[in-house]
Chains A and B, each alone.
Chain A
Amino acid sequence: QSVLTQPSSTSGTPGQRVTISCSGSSSNIGSNPVNWYQQLPGTAPKLLIYSSNQRSSGVPDRFSGSKSGTSASLAISGLQFEDEADYYCAAWDGSLSGWVFGGGTKLTVL
């Protein structure tokens, strides 16, 4: 059971816009920035979005992040087949004094 809650899966067709939600609490998302990681099949996670809404170097502007209260979202517009991956949200939790992750969302591009 992950501390941050994400949908287990989502899907879209090429060109479509999809969003992935991440829900937490006051001790993590409510008081700290959220980071998003993309994990392509069989590879290590890669930083996608940091500080809730900043794109990492080289990440296309099709990817965007936002945060409000104790929830955060990752939006992917102009969906492409290469976006098919697992996506994880993460935040520092002040009560646990450690990092917490969402359970991951598997994105399928149909």
Chain B
Amino acid sequence: QAQLVQSGAEVKKPGASVKVSCKASGYTFTAYFMHWVRQAPGQGLEWIGVINPSGGSTTYAQNLRGRVTMTRDTSTSTVYMELSSLRSEDTAVYYCARALTPTAWFDPWGQGTLVIVSS
């Protein structure tokens, strides 16, 4: 069955960048899109963007455009989400989630990666 395993927790200083990975297994990597969603402490879910692992095309949420970059490595079935110019408000758990199309439901989700931004 499909499984998504994410990289470990990160602590970063304001202004730095963070790169989170999401390794897929149990399915054809290039046949599904990969979304990123984040959840600030005690808050709801926020969509970050989506990448097509087949061609590498991306769509980002308007409020993060310019600071977020999603890439993929088809040789290792891994997608990456890099967020730059980090601020304290970026402290959150970041999830990857698979979808058949950009507008289809998310299933499954990765276990989440905690990113803490603190001086």
Contacts and interface: CB of A to CB of B under 8 A. Distances in A.
Nearest to A92: B103
A101 B97 CA distance: 14
Interface residues of B, number: 23
B95 A44 contact: yes
Contacts, number: 54
Interface of A: 2, 32, 35, 37, 44-47, 50-51, 56, 88, 90, 92, 96-104
Interface of B: 35, 37, 44-47, 49, 59, 61-62, 95, 97, 102-112
A83 to B, nearest CB: 19
A90 B39 CA distance: 14
A37 B106 contact: yes
Nearest to A8: B44
A37 B39 CA distance: 14
A44 B109 contact: yes
Contacts of B103: 32, 92
11 contacts: A37-B106, A44-B111, A45-B37, A47-B106, A47-B107, A50-B104, A88-B45, A90-B45, A98-B49, A101-B46, A102-B44
